[in-house]
A and B are shown apart, each in its own frame.
Chain A
Amino acid sequence: MSDLYRSALQARFAKAPQLPPLPGEEEEEEESEDSLGALPSGMGPPAAPSRTPRAARKHAPNPAFSPISAQGFFEQAMQVNVPASDLDFRVYYTAPKFEDGTVIICHHGAGHSGLTFACMAKEITDMSKGECGVLAYDCRGHGKTKHLSSPENPAEENLDIEVLTADLVNLVQAVFPDPQAAPSLLLAGHSLGGSVSVRACPVLQQHHYRITGVAVIDVVEEFTLEALPLMHSLLNARPEGFDSPEEAIEWHVKTNTIRNPASARVSVPGIIVPAPAGSPPSTPAYLWRTPLRSTAPYWTMRLGSLTDPVVFYLRGACTGWFTGLSGKFLSARTARLLILAGTERLDKELMIGQMQGKFQLVVIPGVGHMVHEDDPTHMAEVLVEFWRRNERVVFGVKKVGEL
């Protein structure tokens, strides 16, 4: 097919929200209203789940993939009540040795949990000899974070990017109530977490917190937005659930989702929950903590199941998870670091920004999308070096990124 046609297609996929819906697409949105569930239609190919039959898969749990507790990786795990977000956050924290150290606040990606940073946190603590603390938390609808008001785990979570950003800000204010006394913060986010961190940075700075830098891990706006239509088929390929944590860990390692088995053994238990009592017998024993399909409305502005024009307009006012990420990243008034896996490319905005020296780019080869899990050592090296170079030395000297 001609390049012209292909580029026109891609432009349309990227720009879909602004164009008026074509008559055929309007039709299909109405049809989805009739069906159960709020899955946006038209964004993925018809579901063709590739699951092997239940009976064929039952076998004894593999001890090589037994879960490991996060005890050896973080200093403490605590529940932090944040009424402002109506959430009881699960926070994994290693405090810095000295009062005026730095804490790296890590936000995980969609469908993961704070434990994803466990291996990396341990490496950071070792490398910085405890000077650098790490705070990783489970965000809304993930891991062991629960709602304060009942129900504890509502089926429908509001995962709008603005809400997630507010959650991060509220949590920081809860953990470090006094901005002056608080340690310097380094915001690190993986994938969706990167977008949240970039948006939270100016808000926290408004509240007078010291932000040493912001690190975005393996997410480039343009390519993520391009890949979003294909998410549905990717999600189809995921099994509905697992019979044991070992099986879940094994699946992640076998499908190369997480290439580091040691890290998988710590982080995967955080993303599965036992099936609730009273589920039909055909459901597996352990299900996904976060059903990613239902988060689809938040990926981009393209919404499938809402026909109320008022609501549509309001929703249009808030943005998708990754919209504007590149621009916001480049305009963050702090040191900026972008870590990419070996195969990633830069989009136009970032490429221009990189040529202008606006951020530091580190490419880590030999890793998949879970950069911090696949190679926690290299990752820790990069973050510790970034921290060292940008930590506040003398009061009054302008920091990198301050204009």
Chain B
Amino acid sequence: MDQDASSSGGWRFAQCFGDKGEVEDITEADIISTVEFDSTGNYLATGDKGGRVVLFERNEMKKGCEYKFYTEFQSHEPEFDYLKSLEIEEKINKIKWCKRQNAAHFLLSTNDKTIKLWKVYERSLRVVAENNLSEGQRSLPAPLLQQNLRLPRTNLQDNIIAAVPRKVYANAHAYHIHSISVNSDQETFISADDLRINLWNLDISDRSFNIVDIKPANMEELTEVITAAEFHPIHCNLFMYSSSKSNIKLADMRDSALCDRHAKMFEEEEDPTNRSFFSEIISSISDVKFSHDGRYILSRDYLNLKIWDINMESKPIKTIPIHDHLRGKLCDLYENDCIFDKFECVWSGDDKSVLTGSYHNYFRIFDTDTLNDVVLQADKSAFKTKKIGGPLPGNKPGMKNGMRPGGLRENMALETLDFNKKILHASWHPRENTIAIAATNNLFLYSAA
């Protein structure tokens, strides 16, 4: 639909995976908790609350953007910590792909306590077709002479995709792991929980180094937690971590073994006139990402996206409000706990755009230079409109031909936002303008020409 494209910045709905039923009766285990494209963009991984990882493969036969189901495996199982009498959820918190080195795929998936390295590869199943004593179904007489002995022959039966856990990195975190990041050297990775960050070698699963520890001596004095961590995409010695106190620290591992002293700290002076009871909670950074060229940092707190230049620590170069109309509703959002939602933020493959989610299944894509934005909604309406061509919900009937520019932006500020439908997880294809959005139990794919 040309009308759709112009009002939505060229983005078209491409595909939707998942049970497209009503939101009232979704099984909790189907809720997608993480989405990640691999470094080529040909494979897409999703993790859900039930501990399963589902992989999709790009369908090269089709001209446009289309993904098909590749494989699924159960990555983590629910566990019980007998010492603390706590359940360990099997929900997959993060998936990160390793760069492809051979025919097999390697990816790291983590739940609250354990990280696993999975090898996903194609295996051909062979069955024995004939051996010395039988050929197919019929049995042969046993050979008596040496030259009648034959090697058994196998036939190709099927190609299956197998997933095997190659390494299990366990028992290193006392608190819940929320981030993992593979280093550019493809040899090490970090895992971060609320108070500590550990450095692992992909080949060694029984040991890790602790490189950041912000646990106070007296837990009663706890004021700050780590909320996200990531390695620099190019420099293997740099990584950053964000905190609930609205600062981002860049650390250099060459400095010392324990990277408690940061090399750079990115924090914006808070405007004292805007302080309110909730200032601290909404300024807590929920996600940080390096740009692909490693020159910029994108951070997301509750109401804004901020783009930082890695060379300037004092303030971000751009601040983008996402859903400012929620500023007046902070009290209600505190009551229903939505103020603690951790939204992710994503760079586009060319670093020219950024994406983040909001409530009622809305998500926004901003151009980093002009700050023009596109508002889209990952809803059933997306694929209904494609087929029927009816007006988008919220637009007045009869306005079909004259779509307002920026279509859904006004709708985003409607009073009737459903705070149970939120876009927390998304991923952008590294090479083209294709995005994968996780909307509760559905995976939406959008593509721009």
Instruction: Report which A residues bind B (CB closer than 8 A).
Output: 1-6, 8-9, 11-12, 15, 24, 27-28, 31, 42-46, 48, 229-230, 232-233
29 A-B residue pairs with CB within 8 Å:
A1-B244, A1-B286, A1-B340, A1-B341, A1-B342, A2-B175, A2-B225, A4-B176, A4-B225, A5-B194, A5-B225, A5-B284, A6-B340, A8-B225, A9-B281, A11-B220, A11-B222, A12-B223, A24-B275, A28-B275, A31-B272, A42-B276, A42-B277, A44-B276, A45-B276, A229-B277, A230-B334, A230-B335, A232-B277
The answer on a CB contact under 8 Å between B328 and A48 is: yes
Q: A45-B278, A45-B330 are in contact. Are A4 and B175 (CB under 8 A)?
A: yes
Contacts of A24 in B (CB 8 A): 270, 272, 275
Q: How far is the CB of A22 from chain B (nearest CB, A)?
A: 8
Contact with A along B325-338 (1 / 0, CB 8 A): 00010110011000
**Chain B residue with Cβ nearest A46:** B276
The answer on a CB contact under 8 Å between A5 and B275 is: no
Q: Is B178 an interface residue (CB 8 A)?
A: yes
Instruction: Report which B residues bind A (CB closer than 8 A).
Output: 175-176, 178, 194-195, 220, 222-223, 225, 227, 244, 270, 272, 275-278, 280-281, 284, 286, 328, 330-331, 334-335, 340-342
**Chain B residue with Cβ nearest A2:** B194
Contacts of B175 in A (CB 8 A): 2, 4
Q: Kindly list the 10 A-B residue pairs having the minimum CB-CB distance in the complex, ordered from nearest.
A: A1-B340, A8-B222, A233-B331, A5-B225, A4-B194, A45-B276, A2-B194, A48-B328, A46-B276, A45-B277
Q: Please report the C-alpha to C-alpha distance between residue A15 and residue B223 in the assembled complex, in whole angstroms.
A: 13
Give the interface centre of B276, B330, B331, B341 by most chain A CB atoms within 10 Å.
Answer: B331
Contacts of A5 in B (CB 8 A): 194, 225, 244, 284, 340
Q: How far is the CB of A308 from chain B (nearest CB, A)?
A: 23
Give the interface centre of A1, A12, A24 by most chain B CB atoms within 10 Å.
Answer: A1
Q: How far is the CB of B67 from chain A (nearest CB, A)?
A: 32
Q: How far is the CB of B303 from chain A (nearest CB, A)?
A: 13
Contacts of B330 in A (CB 8 A): 45
For the complex with contacts A4-B175, A232-B277, 7 further pairs of A-B residues with Cβ separation under 8 Å are A1-B342, A2-B225, A5-B244, A24-B272, A28-B272, A42-B276, A44-B277
The answer on a CB contact under 8 Å between A2 and B178 is: yes
* Chain A contact residues: helix, strand, loop or mixed: helix
Q: Please report the C-alpha to C-alpha distance between residue A174 and residue B340 in the assembled complex, in whole angstroms.
A: 53
* Chain B contact residues: helix, strand, loop or mixed: loop
Contacts of B278 in A (CB 8 A): 45
Q: Please report the C-alpha to C-alpha distance between residue A229 and residue B276 in the assembled complex, in whole angstroms.
A: 11
The answer on a CB contact under 8 Å between A8 and B223 is: yes
The answer on a CB contact under 8 Å between B272 and A4 is: no
Q: How far is the CB of A169 from chain B (nearest CB, A)?
A: 36
Q: How far is the CB of A236 from chain B (nearest CB, A)?
A: 9
Contacts of A229 in B (CB 8 A): 277
Q: Please report the C-alpha to C-alpha distance between residue A3 and residue B270 in the assembled complex, in whole angstroms.
A: 25
Q: How far is the CB of B430 from chain A (nearest CB, A)?
A: 29
Contacts of A31 in B (CB 8 A): 272
Q: Please report the C-alpha to C-alpha distance between residue A45 and residue B333 in the assembled complex, in whole angstroms.
A: 12
Q: Please report the C-alpha to C-alpha distance between residue A229 and residue B331 in the assembled complex, in whole angstroms.
A: 10
Q: Please report the C-alpha to C-alpha distance between residue A6 and residue B276 in the assembled complex, in whole angstroms.
A: 18
Q: Please report the C-alpha to C-alpha distance between residue A45 and residue B330 in the assembled complex, in whole angstroms.
A: 8
**Chain A residue with Cβ nearest B222:** A8
Q: Please report the C-alpha to C-alpha distance between residue A31 and residue B276 in the assembled complex, in whole angstroms.
A: 13
Q: How far is the CB of B202 from chain A (nearest CB, A)?
A: 26
Q: Please report the C-alpha to C-alpha distance between residue A45 and residue B276 in the assembled complex, in whole angstroms.
A: 5
Q: Please report the C-alpha to C-alpha distance between residue A4 and residue B178 in the assembled complex, in whole angstroms.
A: 12
Contacts of B244 in A (CB 8 A): 1, 5
Q: How far is the CB of A182 from chain B (nearest CB, A)?
A: 46
Q: Please report the C-alpha to C-alpha distance between residue A24 and residue B274 in the assembled complex, in whole angstroms.
A: 12
Q: Please report the C-alpha to C-alpha distance between residue A43 and residue B220 in the assembled complex, in whole angstroms.
A: 22
Q: A1-B342, A4-B194 are in contact. Are A230 and B331 (CB under 8 A)?
A: yes
Q: How far is the CB of A280 from chain B (nearest CB, A)?
A: 27
Q: Please report the C-alpha to C-alpha distance between residue A343 and residue B272 in the assembled complex, in whole angstroms.
A: 38
Q: Please report the C-alpha to C-alpha distance between residue A4 and residue B223 in the assembled complex, in whole angstroms.
A: 10
Q: Please report the C-alpha to C-alpha distance between residue A359 and residue B284 in the assembled complex, in whole angstroms.
A: 43
**Chain B residue with Cβ nearest A8:** B222
Q: Please report the C-alpha to C-alpha distance between residue A320 and residue B272 in the assembled complex, in whole angstroms.
A: 28
Q: Please report the C-alpha to C-alpha distance between residue A44 and residue B341 in the assembled complex, in whole angstroms.
A: 21
Contacts of B223 in A (CB 8 A): 8, 12
Contacts of B220 in A (CB 8 A): 11, 15
Contacts of B335 in A (CB 8 A): 230
Q: How far is the CB of A301 from chain B (nearest CB, A)?
A: 17
Contacts of B286 in A (CB 8 A): 1
Q: A1-B340, A24-B270, A230-B331 are in contact. Are A42 and B275 (CB under 8 A)?
A: yes
Contacts of A45 in B (CB 8 A): 276-278, 330-331
**Chain A residue with Cβ nearest B221:** A19
Report which of A1, A12, A230, A233 forms a contact with B284, defined as CB distance below 8 A: A1
Q: How far is the CB of B286 from chain A (nearest CB, A)?
A: 8
Q: Please report the C-alpha to C-alpha distance between residue A228 and residue B328 in the assembled complex, in whole angstroms.
A: 19
Q: Please report the C-alpha to C-alpha distance between residue A398 and residue B355 in the assembled complex, in whole angstroms.
A: 72
Q: How far is the CB of A23 from chain B (nearest CB, A)?
A: 11
Contacts of A15 in B (CB 8 A): 220
The answer on a CB contact under 8 Å between B277 and A27 is: no
Contacts of A4 in B (CB 8 A): 175-176, 194-195, 222, 225
Contacts of B227 in A (CB 8 A): 1
Report which of B222, B272, B342 forms a contact with A27, defined as CB distance below 8 A: B272
Contacts of A3 in B (CB 8 A): 176
Contacts of A9 in B (CB 8 A): 280-281
Contacts of B272 in A (CB 8 A): 24, 27-28, 31
Q: How far is the CB of A139 from chain B (nearest CB, A)?
A: 29
Q: Please report the C-alpha to C-alpha distance between residue A118 and residue B233 in the assembled complex, in whole angstroms.
A: 72
Q: Please report the C-alpha to C-alpha distance between residue A11 and residue B195 in the assembled complex, in whole angstroms.
A: 17
Give the interface centre of A9, A31, A48, A232 by most chain B CB atoms within 10 Å.
Answer: A9
Contacts of B194 in A (CB 8 A): 2, 4-5
Q: How far is the CB of B196 from chain A (nearest CB, A)?
A: 12
**Chain B residue with Cβ nearest A230:** B331
Q: Please report the C-alpha to C-alpha distance between residue A42 and residue B227 in the assembled complex, in whole angstroms.
A: 25
Contacts of B276 in A (CB 8 A): 42, 44-46
Q: Please report the C-alpha to C-alpha distance between residue A9 and residue B270 in the assembled complex, in whole angstroms.
A: 19
Q: How far is the CB of B222 from chain A (nearest CB, A)?
A: 4
Q: Please report the C-alpha to C-alpha distance between residue A27 and residue B279 in the assembled complex, in whole angstroms.
A: 14
**Chain B residue with Cβ nearest A31:** B272
Contacts of A2 in B (CB 8 A): 175-176, 178, 194, 225
Q: Please report the C-alpha to C-alpha distance between residue A1 and residue B334 in the assembled complex, in whole angstroms.
A: 12
